[in-house]
Amino acid sequence: MASRAVNATERYLLANYQHLMAPHERMIARSIIAADFDVDEIPRGVWDRVWVAFPGIERNDPWKLPIQICVRLLHDHRHEIHVPAHLGGDAQQIVGREAR
């Protein structure tokens, strides 16, 4: 039951920066992309393999996965990631979540 949709910046980061992701993050990103960014459609087998790598995210809160992946990418690879200007506002929102 997703409480929010994957936003444009998260879509861009998940699709274009998989090479900077950890293997468990890459597996989730590929599953989300294959499900046309519907996080409720992440296959159970994928969840079973990676859920322990995402502390604080319950199986009934898959909408938090793209946020956590993108926050880590923007935090750890800030100087390697270039988000198009028209998506920049979304990136500020993602980074703002990290501060909370």
pLDDT higher than 60, residue 92: no
Q: What is the pLDDT of residue 99?
A: 53
pLDDT higher than 70, residue 88: no
CA–CA gap between residue 1 and residue 83 (Å, rounded): 28
For the stretch 25-79, pLDDT in tens is 999 999 999 999 998 888 989 988 888 888 888 888 888 999 999 999 999 998 9
Q: What is the pLDDT of residue 91?
A: 55
Question: Which amino acid, one-letter code, is at 85?
Answer: A
**What is Dmax (Cα atoms) for the chain?**
37
pLDDT higher than 70, residue 9: yes
